[in-house]
């Protein structure tokens, strides 16, 4: 028995020494770029979460003494006849700003690299277009099926349109902002996070990116969140292979438009029978 415990002890000590040596080696090969990308990612996700709610910005303005500006913003978002429209545009603008601005600062002024190295170039954008077409074909029946569910109809579109309301121009303006938000999203996840860490993680940078991408879907219908895991891996793989984000942007915008139009049809906005929820 004594010999057994001595053997276990020696094994643990040996393992601890090896772990310590490995830690020293990792520290000596410190990758500041990966560290900055991780910190920037955490900061961006934090800012989009809090500033995405206009009430948070109102509270900051009040605390800073900009009372008049805070009151005007609050009235625009709550009391204006088109308050829902302005709330949707505000949210999309916050996403676009933080998903693009902070990564851009890192890339141009800290890393001193080109945006094309992070998937923003158009070279090779159509290389895997057949796979993206198949993704759209698969999504059409899924969107049609889930568009009849209560959670889907309550969630989409983010800019609510009532039956009888004109879609032009506000709905089209909203869709433009919505599409710009997807450009920013793809650049942040499939560009900045993916291509910024592939030198360190290689193929596994896809899964490094996929986890926070899945988490930003929390609060949405569960099927959409599960689909985000699958889409995150597939779009990440395609971006890694093609070295660009643009077909991912195309797929995202196409599916989003299908979801919004399907929701409007189910809600009876186009004059058809609305689904009872």
- pLDDT, tens digit, 9 for 90 and up, residues 59-118: 999 999 999 999 999 999 999 999 999 999 999 999 999 999 999 999 999 999 999 999
Instruction: Find, among 89, 227, 246, 243, the residue nearest to 169 by Cα.
Output: 89
- 14 pLDDT band, cuts 50/70/90, is low
Q: What is the mean pLDDT of residues 252-257?
A: 95
User: In what helix (H) or strand (E) does residue 74 lie, and over which residues does it extend?
Assistant: helix 67-78
Share of the chain above pLDDT 90, in %: 74
pLDDT at residue 277, rounded to an integer: 44
Lowest pLDDT segment from 20-29, 47-56, 103-112, 181-190: 20-29
pLDDT at residue 6, rounded to an integer: 53
Length of the chain: 277
Checking if the pLDDT of 28 tops 80, the result is no
Q: What is the mean pLDDT of residues 44-65?
A: 98
Checking if the pLDDT of 142 tops 60, the result is yes
- 126 pLDDT band, cuts 50/70/90, is confident
Instruction: Find, among 159, 181, 155, the residue nearest to 82 by Cα.
Output: 159
Q: At what angle do helices 32-51 and 194-201 cross, to 10 degrees?
A: 150
CB atoms within 10 A of CB 209: 29
Question: Mean pLDDT across the chain, nearest whole number?
Answer: 90
User: In what helix (H) or strand (E) does residue 255 lie, and over which residues does it extend?
Assistant: helix 246-266
Q: Which residues neighbour 48 within 8 Å (Cβ) at sequence distance 6 or greater?
A: 94, 95, 98, 99, 216
pLDDT at residue 19, rounded to an integer: 58
d(CA 268, CA 274): 4
- Exposure string of 235-256, with b = 16+ CB inside 10 Å and e = fewer, is bbbbbbebbbbbbbbbbbbbbb
pLDDT at residue 195, rounded to an integer: 98
Cβ atoms 96, 184 nearer than 8 A? yes
Q: What is the mean pLDDT of residues 47-69?
A: 98
pLDDT at residue 90, rounded to an integer: 98
């Amino acid at each position: 028995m004594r010999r057994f415990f001595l053997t276990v002890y020696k094994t643990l000590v040996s393992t601890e020494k090896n772990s310590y040596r490995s830690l020293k080696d990792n520290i000596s090969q410190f990758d500041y770029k990966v560290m900055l990308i991780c910190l920037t990612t955490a900061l961006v996700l934090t800012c989009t979460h809090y500033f995405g709610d206009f009430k948070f910005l109102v509270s900051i303005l009040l605390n800073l003494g900009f009372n008049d500006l805070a009151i005007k913003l609050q009235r625009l978002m709550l009391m204006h006849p088109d308050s829902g429209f302005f709330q949707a545009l505000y949210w999309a603008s916050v996403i676009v700003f933080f998903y693009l601005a902070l990564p851009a600062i890192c890339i141009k002024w800290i890393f001193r690299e080109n945006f094309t190295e992070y998937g923003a170039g158009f070279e090779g954008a159509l290389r895997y277009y057949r796979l993206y077409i198949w993704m759209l074909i698969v999504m059409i029946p899924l969107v049609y099926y889930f568009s009849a569910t209560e959670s889907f109809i309550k969630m989409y579109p983010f800019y609510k349109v009532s039956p009888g309301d004109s879609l032009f121009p506000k709905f089209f303006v909203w869709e433009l902002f919505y599409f710009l938000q997807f450009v920013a999203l793809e650049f942040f996840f499939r560009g900045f996070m993916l291509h910024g860490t592939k030198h360190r993680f290689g193929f596994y940078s896809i899964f490094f990116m996929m986890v926070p991408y899945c988490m930003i879907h929390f609060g949405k219908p569960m099927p959409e969140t599960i689909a985000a895991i699958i889409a995150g891996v597939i779009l990440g793989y395609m971006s890694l292979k093609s070295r660009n984000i643009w077909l991912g942007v195309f797929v995202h915008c196409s599916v989003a438009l299908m979801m919004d139009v399907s929701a409007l049809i189910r809600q009876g906005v186009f004059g058809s029978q609305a689904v009872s929820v």
